[in-house]
Amino acid sequence: MAQASTIEWTQATWNPVVGCRKVSSGCANCYAERMAKRLAAMAKADVSAGRNPGKKAAYLHVINGRGRWNGDVFLDDSAVEAPLSWRAPKVIFVNSMSDLFHEDVPLQFIQSVFRVMNACPQHTFQVLTKRPERTREISAKVTWTPNIWMGTSVENRAVVDRVHELRQTHAKIKFLSVEPLLGPLPRLPLTGMHWVIVGGESGPGARPMDPAWVRQIRDRCVARGVPFFFKQWGGVDKSATGRELDGRTWDQMPETAALLL
């Protein structure tokens, strides 16, 4: 079954790949790394006790002795075809615990994931990468059905070029995840973008986000008619800071997925 998700802008997660390598400042306090550390520890305890760790065993391959990503990825072939058995329509975040376009994920594996997404028009698949240059390079080698949304992370000005790389892909729906927002982006490029998510960093060591940075992006999206989704203010306890912006929640989404959520 799909793994139910507490992420505000999706319903479920699907992880045919786990493991990653940090590539920019937005990766510093990676939530997936923290979760992988816990899952690896649980798997290790299961093995020590003679129990079958199940899917958790994958994380033993990608977490080092310090509880950090070791840079490797684990390809879970057994998970690739899972969405074919999910009949009820879902909005699915693809590889919440990795990056489908990680440099060590073979093209053939990416193509197999795309074939499954192509075969499941009832679902909306949200693919998010910090490596849109690779997405662009292989864009013509996969089939972009309308149910595949392609996004990239943009945490500050240093990585704004990711938007230009994403724009050159053949994805029908393109989106930006501006999370964690680490600095002002008053001229965030929105041409060709269909959705923008903004959020502050959460958890241990969370870096602060200036409300003015959020409003700049919100106002820019409103002026250009781009759906805007404000995920959270963040902080060590994100439940305490909430997700209201100027007295309201912003849950705008491209229409096809909004009908499902």
**What pLDDT score does 257 carry?**
59
- Mean pLDDT for the stretch of residues 77-97: 96
pLDDT, one tens digit per residue, over 98-129 is 999 999 999 999 999 999 999 999 999 999 99
* CA–CA dist 168, 158 (Å, integer): 19
Read off the pTM: 0.96
Whether 10 maps to a domain, the answer reads no
Whether 105 maps to a domain, the answer reads yes
**What pLDDT score does 170 carry?**
98
* CA–CA dist 115, 83 (Å, integer): 11
Confidence label for 260 from pLDDT (cuts 50, 70 and 90): low
**What pLDDT score does 239 carry?**
87
Whether 125 maps to a domain, the answer reads yes
pLDDT, one tens digit per residue, over 156-200 is 999 999 999 999 999 999 999 999 999 999 999 999 999 999 999
Query: Cβ neighbours of residue 18 under 8 Å, at least 6 residues apart?
Result: 36, 58, 59, 61, 62, 73, 74, 76, 95, 97, 98
Q: Quote the tokens at residue 245.
A: 């912006």
pLDDT above 90 for 68 = yes
pLDDT above 60 for 1 = no
- Mean pLDDT for the stretch of residues 131-145: 98
pLDDT, one tens digit per residue, over 235-246 is 888 888 999 999
pLDDT above 90 for 234 = yes
- Mean pLDDT for the stretch of residues 205-217: 97
Average pLDDT, the chain: 95
Whether 228 maps to a domain, the answer reads yes
**What pLDDT score does 35 carry?**
97
Whether 143 maps to a domain, the answer reads yes
Total length of the chain:
261
Q: What total of structural domains would you count in the chain?
A: 1
Whether 142 maps to a domain, the answer reads yes
**What pLDDT score does 259 carry?**
53
Whether 20 maps to a domain, the answer reads no
Whether 33 maps to a domain, the answer reads no
The CATH number linked to 194 is 3.80.30
Q: In terms of residue numbers, what domain contains 99?
A: 73-258
**What pLDDT score does 41 carry?**
97
* CA–CA dist 136, 140 (Å, integer): 8
pLDDT above 80 for 258 = no
